[in-house]
């Protein structure tokens, strides 16, 4: 079973809006309250040291070894860009994909790292991640390696984190390799795939972050699940146990009405496929096995959607077939 990062407080929800959808309002999921000290903690002063040396694994995205801290750490947030990337700059509220290692300043004890697992996918937002990361990584470019020393105020506070063996007085040292970033303007990066079946919806191929069009043919919908590439990415295939980050839009086959979307809403959707399987089986099954970076069209028959129990007061009716276009941005 995949081990969860200690940096995050809870499994992303990601189901509440889809489970009760009935209009075209925006959708997003956030982790619950951060393990940091308090939402009212003021922004830190960012300084360039002191910071311990990286003694091995010095290349980007290579598992590092970090020396023990020397002397007393700063009471401010110490941040240094060890390797400068050339990608887009990360902004607060963006999602980032990163590998990291965290250890305690005074002992060099490693309490968590992702290099032997899967890169972390999380949002740089208040309540989603410790504040040291939120402030320390803002403005850094994709492809950068960042070294940070995070005092308790912007880490786990005076209570520490007993699960990780962190005391309330511990300053934490992190090495973070920023692999990618995503925001509300992100789209699929895949290559166009022919959409030649006249009995299936045709989806737009724009990659500007705006909602792609969905043209639904005036024929009866398929009775079985359909999940096809519109833009085929070159990432790894999504596994059924993973959490995905995506843009999506959902329409009702019969009416063409939009019942849910993230495009142009200022937000992204993040959800566990295992949890989505309990709400919209067809959507979860349609995403599973598709490549990260792709845009797909998923046609979900009623028995794999809401069946005879649609959300009340919305445009989805009993027995509705649903059509989704999904940009699979990342998975973890």
pLDDT of residue 31: 29
Is residue 79 a contact partner of residue 168, using CB atoms and an 8 Å limit?
A: no
pLDDT of residue 4: 46
Chain centroid to CA 3: how far?
A: 16
pTM of the model: 0.84
Cα–Cα distance measured from residue 217 to residue 230, given in angstroms and rounded to the nearest whole number: 16
Cα–Cα distance measured from residue 12 to residue 113, given in angstroms and rounded to the nearest whole number: 20
Cα–Cα distance measured from residue 206 to residue 226, given in angstroms and rounded to the nearest whole number: 21
Closest to 147 in 3D by CA, of 109, 179, 178: 178
Closest to 277 in 3D by CA, of 241, 226, 331: 241
> DSSP secondary structure string, 73-101?
PPSSEEEEEEE---SPBP-TT-EEEEEEE
Q: pLDDT tens track of the chain, all 332 residues?
A: 344 455 543 223 332 234 333 344 333 333 222 233 345 689 999 999 999 999 999 999 999 999 999 999 999 999 999 999 999 999 999 999 999 999 999 999 999 999 999 899 999 998 889 999 999 999 999 999 999 999 999 999 999 999 899 999 999 999 999 999 999 999 998 999 999 999 999 999 999 989 999 999 999 999 999 999 999 999 999 999 999 999 999 999 999 999 999 998 889 999 999 999 999 999 999 999 999 999 999 999 999 999 999 998 899 999 999 999 999 999 99
Residue 50: asked if its preceding bond is cis (omega within 30°), the reply is yes
Is residue 217 a contact partner of residue 201, using CB atoms and an 8 Å limit?
A: yes
Q: Where are the alpha helices (DSSP H) in 95-174?
A: 131-136
Question: How many contiguous H segments (helices) and E segments (strands) does the chain have?
Answer: 4, 18
Cα–Cα distance measured from residue 310 to residue 308, given in angstroms and rounded to the nearest whole number: 6
> DSSP secondary structure string, 23-52?
SS-------SS-SSS-TTPPPPPEE-----
Closest to 34 in 3D by CA, of 53, 57, 6, 73: 6
C-alpha to C-alpha distances, 212 to 112, 188, 234, 251, 320, nearest whole angstrom: 40, 11, 20, 12, 21
C-alpha to C-alpha distances, 291 to 65, 177, 244, nearest whole angstrom: 32, 23, 11
Phi, then psi, of 66 in degrees rounded to 5: -120, 135
Residues 6+ apart with CB under 8 A from 162: none
């Amino acid at each position: 079973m995949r081990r969860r990062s200690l940096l995050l407080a809870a499994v992303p929800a990601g189901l509440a809006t889809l489970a009760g959808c009935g209009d075209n309002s925006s959708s997003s999921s956030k982790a619950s309250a951060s393990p940091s000290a308090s939402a009212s903690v003021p922004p830190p002063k960012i300084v360039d040291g002191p910071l311990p040396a990286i003694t091995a694994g010095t290349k980007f995205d290579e598992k590092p070894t970090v020396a023990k801290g020397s002397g007393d750490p700063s009471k401010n947030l110490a941040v240094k860009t060890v390797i400068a990337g050339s990608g887009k700059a990360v902004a607060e509220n963006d999602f980032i994909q990163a590998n990291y290692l965290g250890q305690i300043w005074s002992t060099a004890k490693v309490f968590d790292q992702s290099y032997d697992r899967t890169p972390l996918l999380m949002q740089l937002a208040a309540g989603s991640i410790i504040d040291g990361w939120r402030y320390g990584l803002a403005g850094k470019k994709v492809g950068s390696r960042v070294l940070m020393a995070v005092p308790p105020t912007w880490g786990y506070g005076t209570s520490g984190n007993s699960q990780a063996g962190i005391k309330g007085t511990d300053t934490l040292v992190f090495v973070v390799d920023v692999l990618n970033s995503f925001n509300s303007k992100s789209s699929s990066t895949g290559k166009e795939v022919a959409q030649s079946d006249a009995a299936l919806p045709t989806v737009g191929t724009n990659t500007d972050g705006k909602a792609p069009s969905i043209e639904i043919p005036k024929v009866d919908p398929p009775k079985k699940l359909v999940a096809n590439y519109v833009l085929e990415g070159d990432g790894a295939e999504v596994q059924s146990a993973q959490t995905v980050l995506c843009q999506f839009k959902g329409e009702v086959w019969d009416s063409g009405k939009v019942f849910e979307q993230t495009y142009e809403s200022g937000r992204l959707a993040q959800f566990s496929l295992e949890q989505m399987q309990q709400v919209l089986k067809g959507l979860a099954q349609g995403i599973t096995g598709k490549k990260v970076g792709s845009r797909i069209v998923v046609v979900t028959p009623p028995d794999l959607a809401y069946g005879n129990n649609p959300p009340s007061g919305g445009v989805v009716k009993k027995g509705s077939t649903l059509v989704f276009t999904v940009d699979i941005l990342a998975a973890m």
